Each structure stands twice: as C-alpha cells, then as structure tokens.
Amino acid sequence: MTDCSTCVVRNRAICASLDAAELAALGKMGRKQKVRHGQTLLWEGDGAPVVANVLSGVLKLVVSTADGREQIVGIVFPSDFIGRPFGKESPYSVTAMTDAEVCIFNRNSFDDFAGKHPDLQQKLLRRTLDELDRARHWMMLLGRKSASEKVASFLLEMSERLSGQGCEAGALNNGFELPFGRQQIADILGLTIETTSRQFTRMREDGLVDLPSRREVVINDRAAMMAMAG
C-alpha cells in the first residue's frame, strides 16, 4: 500500500480521523485493487472477507430475489466505505458500474484495528446512520414517486454526490457528468430506458436542464427541479 497521506480521498474517507502513525499502521494492512466495469467485489449472502474505501469510480449495491430479479439498493462513490465490519456475511452484492479502484482490507484485521481506535468506530457509526437515512429515502424514491419525481430526485442527488470527487465522475463548470448511461439510470430507478429518456427530454424542453452530451447535465433551475422531485 502506498503512503495514505497521498490518498485522493484522505480527507473524506473514514480514516480521516487517524493521525500519521495510525494511518501508517492502517496503510500496511491495506492494498489497492482495480475493479473493472461489471466486476463483482462482494456477493450477496456470501462471506464478507474484506472491507474497502472507494478511491475512484462508482459501484452499485444489489440485492436479488429468489427468481433472479435484481434491485439496486444503493450507489457508492469515491470516499464511501463498502463491506460489513463486524459482520460475517454481505447483505448485498457490490458490483462496479464503472472502472474503479478501492483500498481493500482484510475484514478481521480491520475489525481488530477499529476496535482499538474509538474515533474510527464513531466514523463507522456515523456512516452507518447516513446509509440508513439514504436507504429510507431510497424506499420512498422507488416505492412512491412518479417517473418525473424519480428522475428529478436522482439528478439532484447526483449533483451533490459528484461535486468535487476528483475523478472522471465529477463536477463541470455549471453541472456534472454522470458516470453511467441512460440504461443504468433506468435500472437504478426501476424504470424503462424509454421512460427515463422521455423524462430527460421533457426536462430539457422545459428549460430545467441542459444536456450538452449523453452524460453531461447542467441544472438550470434548481428550485423547479426540487419542486418536481417532491
């Protein structure tokens, strides 16, 4: 593992609370790993031997039904933490939506380290509570909102999550670049690609957004977008 002090997500990741000596010790436990687009890092229901900080790229959290249908239950971005500390099984699969890089740790070793560092445990607790809030919001998004409300909510969240990420999925001058295409957005929101594309076109025609390219989005009227999102 390279020096943690040079890590691109150093100030935003869960290890931000550690001092130089603690970072050095943690760095010796970890290693960088590239994850290709479509590659699964953790499988739902399997043992969870590793945890990781996301350094670059975007990954999805997926749960499956008995008949093989899948639902995306979350998306993780640079500086987010993935895996299940102090747990034995992964409650979801973790699959790369883009090429990504993670800082990966053996879960048992990480658990031992976290047990000796209360500040890190508090960070993990805060992250867990944030994820719980996000999951509740996701339940509302998928279960109760219309197609237009879903797309508006999604774009507003992406505009916040992708700002200042320091990777290919990042902020533009007055907007942001999505790290995935329309089909993936449709899968995330539980919509068809036709419905998703119609919503994008309608928002552009109404002047709410500009779409300089297939993945670039500029929100022109944030207040109107928030009203549409409900």
> Is residue 165 over pLDDT 60?
no
Most confident of the following: 1-5, 100-104, 139-143, 226-230: 100-104
> Is residue 213 over pLDDT 80?
yes
Mean pLDDT of 90-105: 92
Q: Could you tell me the pLDDT band of residue 54, with boundaries at 50, 70 and 90?
A: very high
Backbone angles phi, psi at 11, to 5 degrees: -85, -5
Question: Which has more pLDDT, 180 or 95?
Answer: 95
Residue 200 has what pLDDT? Answer: 96
**Where does 50-192 have alpha helices with state H?**
107-115, 118-144, 147-161, 182-189
Quick one: CA torsion of 135, 137, 139, 143, rounded to 10 degrees? Answer: -160
How big is the chain by its Cα radius of gyration, in Å?
18
Q: Which domains does the chain have, with CATH numbers?
A: 4-141 (2.60.120.10), 146-229 (1.10.10.10)
Neighbours of 11 (CB within 10 A): 9
Question: Which has more pLDDT, 108 or 6?
Answer: 108
> Is residue 191 over pLDDT 50?
yes
Reported in sequence order, the residue ranges of the chain that DSSP labels E, i.e. its strands, are 31-35, 40-42, 50-56, 59-64, 70-76, 81-82, 93-96, 100-106, 176-177, 209-210, 216-219
